[in-house]
Amino acid sequence: MSGVPIIRGAGELAALIGDWRAEGATIGVVPTMGALHEGHLSLVRAAQGECDRVIVTLFVNPRQFNNPEDFAKYPRTEDADAAILAPLAVDALFVPDAAEVYPPGHATVVSVGGIDTLLEGAHRPGHFDGVATVVALLLNLTRADRAYFGEKDWQQLQVVRQMVADLRMPVRIVACPSVRAEDGVALSSRNQRLSPDARRRAAAIPQALTAAARAIEGGAAPEPVLEDARATLRDAGLGPLDYLELRDALSLAEPRPGHEARLLVAVWLDGVRLIDNVPVCLVS
């Protein structure tokens, strides 16, 4: 079995993309930071179902990390990532280094106003500027027709959607459902950093979220329900809790009756910061 073609340079990538374009191929891109798991592979499969050519990008983007320790400890497993992709016959794995993505003189930041200051943005200053900038770069470098993102990073998905809409970028953003382990924990690269005991305790996150979502959809007043959910996390030994909030699904502002909402959480567990979210239907 031949491995996935690995490309490291933007020039090499441009030549390959040009060949694909010449053959009239539709191009799908799955941007990642590596440490691939079934959640990423669900995006790859979605792309392969809709696009002629699929490229996975692997770049641990320094500009979206506000915490140097988080960046330093982020898992880097390129060989394993290439191996997990090989059976899927992905057309290319683009693995640039920081100098390739941000060459000397790079001076542009893409900033999506409003949503980037809420929740994740409030706790990770500059994070979404880093995300928006690198996603814009990756979309331009791959000339993708469709780009695939997970609902696991719900706020990121809304930021990318806003950027693409505002800049009239010629790419369709495709949202893919969160893939979860049997105990409901959302698959995430950072889960690798959890001890076995901490990983078991992480199950309190989906438990708290789904119980709260059901209660609110059943007509319960949100705030007491949210307090119970926060207590569930505390009782499971998770914390500090950055946020556990019910928000409008698109604006991430206060929920609006009759509109889709999202229940979002960011909580620390033994020094690892985990996020998750679930839909809450407020439409009567």
Ligand X SMILES: Nc1ncnc2c1ncn2[C@@H]1O[C@H](COP(=O)(O)OP(=O)(O)OP(=O)(O)O)[C@@H](O)[C@H]1O
Ligand Y SMILES: CC(C)(CO)[C@@H](O)C(=O)[O-]
Asked whether position 206 contacts ligand Y by CB under 6 A, the answer is no
Three-state SS string across 151-204, please?
A: HHHHHHHHHHHHHHHHCCCCCEEEEECCCECCCCCECCHHHHHCCHHHHHHCCH
Contact map string, positions 25 to 44, toward ligand Y, x by CB under 6 A: ------xxx-----------
134 binds, among ligand BAL, ligand Y, ligand X, none (CB under 5 to 8 A by kind): ligand Y
Q: In terms of CB distance, is 64 or 178 closer to ligand BAL?
A: 64
Q: Which residues bind ligand X (CB under 6 A)?
A: 32-33, 39-40, 42-43, 149-150, 152-153, 176, 178-179, 186-190
Which residue(s) pair with 58 in the sheet? Answer: 32
Only one of the segments 44-52, 127-135, 175-183, 225-233 lies at the binding site for ligand Y (rule: CB under 6 A); that segment is 127-135
In sign, the C-alpha dihedral spanning 81, 27, 140, 250 is: negative
Cβ–Cβ under 8 Å, residues 54 and 28: yes
Figure out which of the listed residues 42, 64, 142, 158 binds ligand BAL, where binding follows CB under 6 A: 64
The gap from C-alpha 125 to its chain's centroid, in whole angstroms, comes to 17
Q: In terms of CB distance, is 141 or 216 closer to ligand Y?
A: 141
Please list the alpha-helical segments (H only) found in the chain: 10-22, 38-50, 68-73, 78-85, 98-101, 120-123, 127-142, 154-166, 196-201, 204-217, 222-235
| Ramachandran region, residue 258 (left: φ > 0; alpha: ψ -120 to 50; beta: rest) | left
Figure out which of the listed residues 153, 242, 245, 276 binds ligand Y, where binding follows CB under 6 A: 153
Query: What does DSSP say about strands 241-248 and 260-269: parallel, antiparallel, or unpaired?
Result: antiparallel
Figure out which of the listed residues 44, 131, 215, 278 binds ligand Y, where binding follows CB under 6 A: 131
Asked whether position 96 contacts ligand Y by CB under 6 A, the answer is no
Q: Is 38 annotated among the ligand-binding residues?
A: yes
Contact map string, positions 54 to 83, toward ligand Y, x by CB under 6 A: -------x--x-------------------
CA distance 65 to 128: 9
Query: Which tokens go with 100?
Result: 């390739």
Q: Is 284 annotated among the ligand-binding residues?
A: no
Q: Is 153 annotated among the ligand-binding residues?
A: yes
Q: Is 1 annotated among the ligand-binding residues?
A: no
Is residue 40 part of the annotated active site? The answer reads yes
For the bound state, the minimum distance from the C-beta of residue 153 to ligand BAL, rounded and expressed in Å, comes to 5
Asked whether position 134 contacts ligand Y by CB under 6 A, the answer is yes
- Which residues have CB under 8 Å from 139's CB, separation 6+? 29, 147, 164, 169, 171
Q: Is 40 annotated among the ligand-binding residues?
A: yes
Strands of the sheet with 272-281, listed across from one edge: 241-248, 260-269, 272-281
Total number of residues that touch ligand Y (CB under 6 A): 10
CA distance 145 to 51: 8
- The amino acid sitting at 87 is P
Q: Is 141 annotated among the ligand-binding residues?
A: no
Q: Is 269 annotated among the ligand-binding residues?
A: no
Active-site residue list: 40
Binding residue ranges for ATP: 33-40, 150-153, 179, 187-190
Q: From the annotation, which residues make up the binding site for (R)-pantoate?
A: 64, 156
Give the binding site for ligand Y (CB under 6 A).
Answer: 31-33, 61, 64, 131, 134-135, 153, 156
What are the residues binding ligand BAL (CB under 6 A)?
A: 64, 153
Annotated binding residues for beta-alanine, written as ranges, equal 64
